A = this chain, B = another copy of it.
Amino acid sequence: MDEAGLSQQIFLDAHTPVVILARPQMGENIGAAARAMKNCGLANLRLIAPRDGWPNPAARPMATVGTDILDRAEVYDTLGDALHDIRFMVATSARPRDMEKPVLTPRLATKQILEEQMQGIRLGTKVALLFGAERSGLDNDELVLADCVAQAPLQKGASSLNLAQAVFLMAWEWRVAGLGLSENTELDAIEGLSAPAELKARDFFLSRLEDTLDEKGFFSNREMAPAVKRNLRSLFARARPTEQELRTLHGIVTLFERDSEK
């Protein structure tokens, strides 16, 4: 399969990166992580020795749209067990470690994840994102199993993310990079604007407004009049009114004219 074909498959549930939480403590955080995964299109969660056992009733309310991810979560005793089908793993860490391991920003790590993911689709293997326990992060024995470390350039002295935020950060970066890769136009879409009215219609409105204002003596300072008119025209040029909006504006001018005829 060619690159283009592969990039169409990166968002299929079975092919998305596996999120592995090592020794998670709070059920609430596991639930919130599942929601963050779902928000970004990730589907596969593995838990290593969750402190309070599994299932954990505290997880469910926080998961909202992501409860199906909790229902399908796999639980393992050790990290090694959870890696049986993983070919490439990125560990996340808030602090530098004294370890011979490439440390990348999340954005750079994500590029590599996507490449490995496409490779993995060919080979029938998976990639994983590894997150440590809330209090202590990953220990060195866990970290050493990863291919590289993602470390976010956060505020000095405040670089420790909530577990679900860390999951969200990596999931979001993965999603945006993946959408870019599959040349999904969603990414650059600027929606929500109706087409502006044609210039002729805008000009017609502005001329009418000027005439009406003139009749009422708004431009009594003849020297200033051209500048004031230009200002009004600039303002409406920037606004680029739609046809509907021009109708509203015409309504105001009509009211203005009628009102003063009384």
Contacts and interface: CB of A to CB of B under 8 A. Distances in A.
Given A158-B38, A192-B149, A100 B251 contact: no
A218 B256 CA distance: 10
Contacts of A5: none
Interface residues of A, number: 78
Stoichiometry, as copies per complex, reads 2
Interface in A204-221: 213, 216-218
A161 interface: yes
A190 B153 CA distance: 11
Interface string A174-213: 0110010000101111111110000000000000000001
A101 interface: yes
A71 B187 CA distance: 37
Nearest to A43: B155
A192 B238 contact: no
Interface string A110-133: 000000000000000000000000
Contact of A168 (B168, B190, B216, B251): B168
A216 B255 contact: yes
Contact of A218 (B66, B151, B164, B255): B255
B248 A165 contact: no
B101 A192 contact: yes
16 contacts: A32-B165, A35-B162, A38-B155, A38-B158, A39-B160, A40-B154, A100-B194, A101-B192, A103-B190, A104-B190, A107-B176, A108-B188, A108-B190, A152-B172, A153-B184, A239-B239
